[in-house]
Structure 1
Amino acid sequence: MSRVLAVISELTIDGTVIEDFVMAAEHGALVTFRGIVRNHDHGLAVTALDYQAHPDAQRFLEDCCNQVAVETGLRVAAAHRVGSLVVGDTALAAAVAAPHRREAFEACERLVELIKSQVPIWKRQHLTDGATEWVGL
């Protein structure tokens, strides 16, 4: 059985699927992270985001998940949306379960940081004044 679930999709992220993948009877801690589209960024009002992924982004996401799974021996899961999202939508979900909370928190934080720094997904923010700006290029 695989210790990694990594998904890039235009579909809404189902957090229950992500959580259920990592849970097991021996785990007493489940840590999840959800990156939610917010209504502002660096002082500007945001109405929506468009996410675009490099053709190899899925492989990069899998590599991040595999790296954390190998480092920790834990099952890890992550899903990232692409396409058009609005304020309140989940753009990124990650989950790690472990016997104890500290290792679950540390592994989930490591996973999210790797994803943010290594997975080639870019966002275009739509601002309330009609302008757009790219972030992460």
Structure 2
Amino acid sequence: MARQAYRDDMGLLSPTELKKYRAKVGLSQRNLAELTGLSPNTIALYEAGAFPTPANNKMLKYLINDDELLRQYIMDDANNYSNDLVAKVKAYLQQEDIVVIDQSFQPKFIAVQLANWLRVENYFGLR
């Protein structure tokens, strides 16, 4: 709890935030290391709970909070990254460009309820 309080007070990236970002984009620790210029060991340490340096914290937070920055990283230096990394980032960015329908909408009735209602309506309609 003390470590998390310190993270919150200092505005440091949490291991969970970093893991969620990697999962969201579909990157391995090595991919993220390649993208950011950090070592894979550094990424692993941050995900294990080590506190990032102020410079690394700032860079990672900007990257996590701005997909346009991710797009720029790939567009500006695509030749300097592995094909695997470029493909993963492009796939993620193309997915982000697709309009997402609000999935929080809950229908008033489910299909089974509507089917039952139609059966009852048909039954009484025939009488």
Give the TM-score band, short-chain normalised.
under 0.3
TM-score, structure 2 as length reference = 0.27
TM-score, structure 1 as length reference = 0.26
Higher helix content, 1 or 2: 2
* Bigger CA radius of gyration: 2
